[in-house]
Amino acid sequence: MWYEKLKSPLRGDFVRSEKGSASIEAVIMIPLMFFCMICFITLIDFTRQHGMHQKAAYTISDMVSRETLAIDTEYLEGTHALMNTLTRDPQESTIRLSVVRYDATNEIFKLDWSKTSGFATPVSNQDVRNWTDRLPVMIHNERIIVVETSAIYQPPFEIGLGNQQIDHFIFTRPRYAPQVLWDDIEPDFAGS
């Protein structure tokens, strides 16, 4: 019965009528379009920040790999400040520099030294032992510099993304010296 009453207006002028109000469509579509724009802006900003942090990590890794003199805490803090300048990032960030060498006899990595600036903690010898899946194939007693950077990304708009952590793990071989030294650690050229 009710279907019959509904059927006759649908066949008539109601279906063919072009009268209406664009304001109803605008009320529905403008907030949706505004929300999509905010989502795109936030995702583009996250991608931009991720790329800037990656470039900064590679720059720092290259800079440390060219050092021929021992580096110290001031150098590390200056490197952290450089990272913040390169990323133009006011959020909380950290940097960890480590030098590891490969022991081909035992097929493990051994830590020479690890220092941090920021909220990270230095890695231990136990942490780096099984980095064979993270580092390239190396010869016995070859050393490699590992630069790890991390930052907390706070999106400009709250779209459900929440704070994200941007992490980078970069490794580089020393360029002009057999190893990069920390200023209070004696050099170990024999690799014992």
What is residue 70's three-state secondary structure? Answer: coil
Q: What are the angstrom distances between the C-alpha of 84 and each of 52, 65, 66, 74, 90? A: 10, 20, 21, 15, 7
The residue type found at 166 is I
- Angle of helix 22-65 relative to helix 73-87, nearest 10 degrees, comes to 150
Averaged in consecutive runs of 10 residues, what is the pLDDT profile of the chain (192 residues)? 60 66 82 92 92 94 92 92 86 91 91 91 90 89 93 87 90 89 67 50
How high is the pLDDT of residue 75? Answer: 92
CA–CA separation, 127 and 100 (whole Å): 11
DSSP letters, 134-160, are TS----TT-EEEEEEEEEEE--SS-SS
Distant-in-sequence contacts of 125-128, Cβ < 8 A, 24+ apart: 128/98, 128/100
How high is the pLDDT of residue 92? Answer: 85
Give Cβ neighbours of residue 119 (< 8 Å, ≥ 6 apart): 92, 94, 150
Whether the full predicted model's pTM is greater than 0.85, yes or no, is no
The vertex-96 CA angle with 91 and 99, nearest 5°, equals 165
For 176, counting Cβ atoms within 10 Å of its Cβ (0-12 exposed, 13-18 middle, 19+ buried), the class is exposed
Residue 136 has phi, psi (to 5 degrees) of -75, 170
The answer to whether the beta carbons of residues 104 and 140 sit under 8 Å apart is yes
143-153 vs 108-117, strand pairing mode: unpaired
The owner of tokens 């580096």 is 71
How high is the pLDDT of residue 27? Answer: 84
How high is the pLDDT of residue 5? Answer: 61
How high is the pLDDT of residue 9? Answer: 58
